[in-house]
Chain A
Amino acid sequence: MRNFHCKWVWMPVLALLLFFIGGLSVSAQTGDLIHDEAGLLSGEETQELEALAEQYGAEQNVDFLFLTTDNTEGQSIEGYMGDFFDDRADSTGREDAVLLTIDIGGREVYLAGFGTAERTLDSERVDLVLDQIIPEMQSGDYADAFEETVVTSSEYMEYRPGVNPESIFLKTWFHLAIALLLAGIIVGSMLYNAGGRVTTTPGTYVDRDHTRVRSQDDRFRNKTVTRSKIPKNKDGGGFGGGGGMTGGGRSFSGGGRSF
């Protein structure tokens, strides 16, 4: 009886606590991460992406924003997304964000990192993310492109700033392959040498006084020259690499592509 009573006393406190936690996260992410002004997503997709962006955003402590438009009002896509972000940051006070902008009118895409994301998702990493989403952009899977952006950026942001997260030296399969190769070579040579090693060398029996080059001649014969063009930048063409500054004075890392 007493136990029962105790439980009832605690219930309101628990409810209050839950409300507080929930309230906090609600006020942090107010459900305005997806701004699909061009109408590229279905309602269901918007909800799913919103949830995804919220989840990953909480982990990385940034807002993953998605902005689509069919008209940049005469501005460049960088200027348009800069104005958008200035407005949003001024009104919400949230400065750390990753913003994917699609201008379906100009068929351009721009990915930018603001605040802490300017460092954790620097322009090189932006370029890597763009490499991965361009195929989806070209086939019109804009929801997938944003999902890919969120997941891949989060992954990259785990790495120390300045490190190339796609470097082969950081890949587990590479570590595994080298480890197995190394073990194979070392144990193989141990097995091979178990019966005793050959320790004679080409110099062991040579008579240095009488082994010599009697005559030699090196005559130039002909030469060939082959030319190859340095490959141009990736398909679709990139622009705005390295980031920049918004009209409101916020600096960002970023890069864009046509698709």
Chain B
Amino acid sequence: MAFDSDSGHLSCPSCGHEENIETFPEQNIERKFGEGEAKEYHCENCGAIILTEAETTATHCSFCGAPVVLADRLTGDLAPAKVIPFTVSKDEAVAAFKKWTRGGRLTPRGFMSGDRIKKMTGMYVPFWLYDIEGEAHIQAIGTQVRTYQSGDTIYTETNFYDVFREIDLSYLKVPADASEKMDDVLMDKLEPYDYSELKDFRMPYLAGYLAEKYDFDDEQLFSRVESKIVPYIDAYISTTISGYSSVSYTNKQIDAQKKKVYYTLFPVWMVYYDFDNKEHTFAMNGQTGKVVGKPPISAGKVALWFTGIAVSSFAVMKAIAFAVGGVLW
């Protein structure tokens, strides 16, 4: 049986039997190997030996194609707390990707047909979600500038204020991808996910997809998540200081600690696309269908857009100048 993204249940492709994952009895999931045992897995379907990388937690049998979940890699410290199941099925992912290629205004013509998908892989990527709590102590000098005229003199009056702020900060479930293989920039662009569909982790969600376990633990990744939220905090701080024509910070002290972490699996479709004898990799948010990745760029189209915009805006400005001034040059 494999996970069905439309119903959100386990379903058997042969007989159509469905099982609700939330109520699926835990003892039906076989744990064949305990921790520390030989890392050799057998396909339950055909008995073939399954070869995987050390991080893989869910895959397909390379002989019969049956979905395999490597349960011992998902228990103990390695057990995910939460999961967002796939809501974009493979067919929908293909359609969404093709639609996305058509929207590429700078991509070469051949790329836009979107019919050279080499491989699509549905993958659960490990993320750490951080609940972050903190406080900020801010000291700044704000100025208010007023100009007025008296006689033939212009007066510029600048008032200086000492500004103090004590701010409580709280951010919930800020994600950072914990897989070494995945490009951080790419994964960041896949955000945001809809957390209303965040479910407690059950192993059957993984059936039929690839899944990996984390390479970095929550301690190692905290600095990355910190660097992610500092701009958010700065933006919030500046909204709390208003009414000044300029603000210069003399002291900005931000303390942020993680209050809670959740090991979570996010659904990602990886799309491998052949174009011009080169493989391009794209990632699609398996929940929202958002596509990210560097498409090939057509220099001709870039030049065309540039000259098009430049010439037409020049013509528009000239037309306005002519209408107003009555002279073309």
Contacts and interface: CB of A to CB of B under 8 A. Distances in A.
B157 A223 contact: yes
A218 B142 contact: yes
B290 A220 contact: no
Contact of B240 (A184, A196, A204, A216): A216
A202 B235 contact: yes
B159 interface: yes
B191 A204 contact: yes
A30 interface: no
A175 interface: yes
Interface stretch (A32-40, A122-130, A157-165, A240-248): A157-165
A200 B189 CA distance: 8
B153 A230 contact: yes
Interface string B129-155: 000010100000110000001001111
Nearest to B190: A196
Interface of B: 104-107, 133, 135, 141-142, 149, 152-174, 186, 188-192, 229, 231-232, 235-236, 240, 290-295, 297, 302, 305-311, 313-314, 317-318, 321, 324-327, 329
Contacts of A214: 135, 166-168
Nearest to A203: B232
A188 to B, nearest CB: 9
Contacts of A227: 153-156
Interface string A142-154: 0000000000000
Nearest to B169: A211
Interface residues of A, number: 55
Contacts of A169: 321, 324
Contacts of B166: 213-216
B311 A205 contact: no
Contact of A211 (B152, B153, B236, B318): B236
Contact of B314 (A159, A179, A204, A209): A179
A194 B189 contact: no
A213 B104 CA distance: 44
Interface in A178-220: 178-180, 182-184, 186-187, 190-191, 194-200, 202, 204-207, 209-220
- Which label, helix, strand, loop or mixed, suits the secondary structure of the B interface? mixed
A210 to B, nearest CB: 4
Contacts, number: 189
25 contacts: A160-B324, A163-B326, A165-B327, A172-B318, A175-B314, A178-B313, A179-B314, A183-B309, A187-B306, A194-B106, A196-B190, A196-B290, A198-B189, A204-B191, A206-B170, A206-B172, A211-B168, A211-B236, A214-B167, A220-B159, A224-B157, A225-B155, A227-B154, A229-B152, A230-B153
Contacts of B325: 159-160, 163, 165, 167, 170
Contact of B160 (A158, A167, A197, A221): A221
A199 B161 contact: no
A16 interface: no
Contacts of A159: 325-327
B280 to A, nearest CB: 10
Contact of A205 (B164, B165, B232, B310): B232
A205 B172 contact: yes
A84 B167 CA distance: 79
B302 A191 contact: yes
Given A170-B327, A229-B152, A175 B168 contact: no
A209 B133 CA distance: 12
